[in-house]
């Protein structure tokens, strides 16, 4: 049976980041006195969109991490790339709070796309038994 420690740590980290993003939404909702929706509150809109963005990409990341972990691919490379992914997913919502194009947002999404593409190719190559 596979060890799956990289997947388990990634899933735990993903959940903690999701909680952090949800708390940010909740705090913005409370401070803006918005019960439902975004109430036209720009800060809440940004928090909600940052949270949604995270939820849109992270399941694919976790699936790719899992299949690569199951395929017993290079543990250190997978672990380091997973850490970079989650660092990127922290940078991105921080940058989304700016009213101008922020470097943290740009770096966050660029790393997200890069790693999803890398893991996708890696998983395909592993499936074809090239790596």
Residue 74 confidence (pLDDT): 85
The mean of the pLDDT values for the chain is: 96
Residue 31 confidence (pLDDT): 95
Based on the number of CB atoms within 10 Å of its own CB, is 102 exposed (0-12), middle (13-18) or buried (19 or more)? middle
| Pure H helices in 1-131 | 5-31, 42-70, 75-96, 103-127
pLDDT in tens, 14-64: 999 999 999 999 999 999 999 899 999 999 999 999 999 999 999 999 999
Q: What is the mean pLDDT of residues 73-88?
A: 96
Of all residues in the chain, the percent with pLDDT exceeding 90 is 94
Query: Binning pLDDT at 50, 70 and 90, where does residue 1 land?
Result: low
Stated pTM of the model: 0.94
Between CA 45 and CA 58 the distance in angstroms is: 20
Between CA 54 and CA 17 the distance in angstroms is: 9
Q: What is the mean pLDDT of residues 101-113?
A: 97
Give residues with Cβ within 8 angstroms of 23, minimum separation 6: none
């Amino acid at each position: 049976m596979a060890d799956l420690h990289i997947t388990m740590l990634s899933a735990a980290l993903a959940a903690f980041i999701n909680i952090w993003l949800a708390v940010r939404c909740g705090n913005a909702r409370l401070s803006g006195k918005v019960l439902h929706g975004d109430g036209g509150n720009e800060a809440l809109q940004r928090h909600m969109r940052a949270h949604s963005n995270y939820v849109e990409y992270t399941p694919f990341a976790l699936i790719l991490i899992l299949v690569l972990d199951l395929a017993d691919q290079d543990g250190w490379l997978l672990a380091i790339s997973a850490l970079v992914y989650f660092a990127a997913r922290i940078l991105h919502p921080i940058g989304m709070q700016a009213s101008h194009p922020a470097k943290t947002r740009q770096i966050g999404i660029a790393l997200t796309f890069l790693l999803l593409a890398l893991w996708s190719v890696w998983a395909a190559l592993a499936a074809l038994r090239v790596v």
